[in-house]
Amino acid sequence: MEDDKAKSKNEVMRVDQNHGDEQQQPPLMALNHVSRVCKNVEESIDFYTKVLGFVEIERPPAFDFDGAWLFNYGVGVHLVQSKDHEKLPQPHNLDPMDNHISFQCEDMNAIERKLKELNIKCKKRTVEDDKNGSVIDQLFFNDPDGFMIEICNCENLKLVPAGSLGKIMLPLDRHNPPIQVQPNNNNNNDHIHN
């Protein structure tokens, strides 16, 4: 029974497009976090928690600089206090072809309403894929420091490996780290494992 548990914790679904051509794959599991340098950590915490639903989590004390760690949806956002505001992106027109991070969404209308309620300027776009008959809705907006964020229903698109993409690795149950469900004031080891 223990072997079955250990085996299931390390399961990864592999989609091999090389048809027998073995290549050494790096032992990666999932995106862990994105890091954002910000003018004001507290303002950014407020934005990412209220607008995007992230939860602030404890940072290891070894990080002796101003910042914060946020987590939700299987990914972290690490905020770092800027020492030089001039290096931050300048607010500009929302351009879907520019650098951004994208979050998949179940209810695009709810997100659009929330952005309107919070007076957050956004750019809405719909992309139709005639070949597959898929429609993708996208909303683009900036965080307080000008970093662009996309909200989309990209799950409408089927993942189709192109050319020499190789092996696609989809983590089945290791994507999220354990989450403590009890306050940290006791030594109980109650955690949620996915």
Domains and CATH numbers, the chain: 31-83 (3.10.180.10), 97-160 (3.10.180.10)
Question: Is the per-residue pLDDT at 21 higher than 80?
Answer: no
- pTM here? 0.74
Rounded mean pLDDT, 138-159: 88
pLDDT at 28: 79
Does the active-site annotation cover 150?
Answer: yes
Mean pLDDT of the chain: 78
pLDDT band of residue 171 (cuts 50, 70, 90) is: low
Which of 146, 151, 145, 183 lies closest to 57 in space, CA to CA?
A: 183
Q: Is the pLDDT of residue 18 over 60?
A: no
Average pLDDT over residues 82-98: 80
Mean pLDDT of 102-129: 93
> Between the CA of residue 120 and those of 8, 24, 48, 53, what are the distances in Å?
43, 45, 13, 15
Strand extents, DSSP E, 44-193: 55-57, 67-72, 75-81, 100-104, 123-129, 134-142, 148-152, 167-171, 179-180, 191-192
- From the list 2, 42, 128, 150, the catalytic residue is 150
Mean pLDDT (whole number) for 84-98: 78
More confident residue, 146 or 177: 146
Alpha-carbon span 115 to 141, nearest angstrom:
9
